[in-house]
Structure 1
């Protein structure tokens, strides 16, 4: 597993954890925070997929 693949896996895990915490919390402000943080991690994962695909194509 390359460093990029490890980072991709970590971002995906963090996104899933943030989504779960956001769905379970009763506090609206915390819910919004964790759901937005999960979205950010999904965007980072998408960026990592692009980097991996570009690297593999080269």
Structure 2
């Protein structure tokens, strides 16, 4: 379970960094790319959270 938590925190941090880059980007394509990356990393983190909750429920 500790492994999940470590990966969850890393994904959340990476998503936050992508959002910062997105917000600072002046080129539209770069903004769109980092927006997609931030959203994707958030989705992965959400999946880890669901797996953690399912594991605890068992």
Give the TM-score band, short-chain normalised: over 0.9
CA distance in 2, matches of 1:16, 1:45: 12
Q: Does 1:50 align with 2:38?
A: no
Gaps of 5+ in 2: none
TM-score (norm 2): 0.95
| Structure 1 outlier segments of 4+, above 2 Å | none
Gaps of 5+ in 1: none
Matched length = 58
Deviation at 1:20, TM superposition (A): 0.4
Q: CA RMSD in A?
A: 1.0
TM-score (norm 1): 0.95
